[in-house]
Amino acid sequence: MSDQHVNPVEPYLRMDRMPHIWCPGCGIGIVVNCFVRALNQSGIDADTLAVVSGIGCTGRFAGYINLDSFHTTHGRPIPFATGLKIAKPELKVLVFSGEGDLVSIGGNHLIHAARRNSDIKVFCVNNFTYAMTGGQVGPTAPVHSIATTTPYGAYDRPFNLPFLADSTGAVYVARWTTYHVRQLTRSMVEALNKPGFCFVEIITPCPTIYQRRNRLGDGLEAMRYYKRFSKVINGANTRMVGLELKGPIIVGKFIDRDRPTLLEAMNDEFSSKLGAKYKPYPTGVSR
């Protein structure tokens, strides 16, 4: 047992910014681990990747990762990523952000990017709260959960994220928890290599706020809960995977289908109408 062998994650981290700000028992660091291992496994040249994130705890992901990275405004990493991909299609553009950022303020952008099959990979870390700002209610907070802006318990029905992504047209939809490290890594590899709008929900403990305010224990308790109450059902009907405060968690790869990406569809349409007058725009996809 010595200190000599370098942690495989370190070459991908901005080590001059460590330690990170995430709390003890927060799962976002696990997402980093899975991502780095997925990068290694996929064989993709890290220089051809760009990471875009929004605002929030997960939004800090872009700042710690040693790749071309962009920390944008709240709710808007997806349209930024779409613009970046369109300008430089040979890039692989990844979005890492929280559920509040992507689904609440960013909800409109999420559904349109899925509809268009914008060729970006979205990793949505779901900790059921707006943690960075002190724990306000989020769009996936289960009914009866306590938050600073729902002190008597949340009463809105939460989003079922895999169903949302599926129904708006995402070609790859999966959900894992930070307990499912190997499956999550595999999903990331698949998403990285799959053309089109890919959406992976990653359920993560927020021990300091969500767990504590809802008397769900610490990070370890959350992970034990994920281990005990998750059911892997690949190909599950996404309508049926909604979550409750203390219910089962259906995880798995739910959707894996194919259709033309935004740029491919654009080329198809323009070529058929304009013929030789139109020179197809590079799509960054090799099928």
Partner 1 sequence: MHADPKGVLTGVHFLDGDHACCEGAIAAGCRAAFGYPITPSTEVVERISQRLPLVGGVFVQMEDEIASSIAIQGAAWGGKKVMTVSSGPGISLMQEHIGLAAMTETPCVFVNVQRGGPSTGLPTLPSQADMMQARWGSHGDYETIAISPNSPQECFDLTIHAFNLAERYRVPVLVMMDESVGHMTERVVIPHPEQIKIESRSVPTGPKEQYQPYAAGEDMVPPMAPVGEGYRFHVTGLTHNDKGYPVMSAEVQEHLVRRLVDKIRLNANKIAMVEEEQTEDADVILVAYGITSRVVLRTLHLAREKGLKVGVFRPVVVWPFPEKRLRELAEKVKAIVVVELNYGQVFLEVERIVCGRTRTELVPHGGGELHDPKDILRVVEELS
Partner 2 sequence: MAETEKKSSRRKFRGEVFIKRERCKGCGFCVEFCPTHALGMDKEINQKGYHPPVLVDPDACTGCDLCGLYCPDFAIHAVRVKIGSNESKESDDAC
User: What b/e string do you get for 194-211 counting C-beta neighbours within 10 Å, with b at 16 or more?
Assistant: bbbbbbbbbbbbbbbbbb
Smallest separation (angstroms) from partner 2 to the CB of 44: 14
- The β-bridge relationship of strands 249-256 and 172-177 is antiparallel
Smallest separation (angstroms) from partner 2 to the CB of 182: 6
| Unique residue bearing structure tokens 């989020």 | 138
Using rule CB under 8 A, residue 246 touches partner 2: no
Find the binder of partner 1 among 29, 44, 112, 218 (CB under 8 A).
112
- The β-bridge relationship of strands 230-232 and 249-256 is parallel
284 conformational bin, left if phi > 0, alpha if psi -120 to 50, beta if neither = left
Using rule CB under 8 A, residue 33 touches partner 2: yes
| Unique residue bearing structure tokens 């692989």 | 92
Using rule CB under 8 A, residue 274 touches partner 1: yes
Smallest separation (angstroms) from partner 1 to the CB of 252: 30
The span of 85-93, 193-201, 212-220, 256-264 binding partner 2 (CB under 8 A) equals: 212-220
207, 26 in Cβ contact below 8 A? yes
| Unique residue bearing structure tokens 């005990």 | 228
Q: Widest CA span of the chain, in angstroms? A: 66
Using rule CB under 8 A, residue 8 touches partner 2: yes
Residues that bind partner 1 (CB under 8 A): 14, 16-17, 47-48, 50, 52, 62-63, 66-73, 76, 79-88, 90-91, 108-109, 112, 262-263, 266, 270, 274, 277-279, 281
Residues that bind partner 2 (CB under 8 A): 1-5, 7-10, 13, 18-20, 22-30, 32-34, 37, 40-41, 179, 181-182, 185, 207, 218-220, 223-224
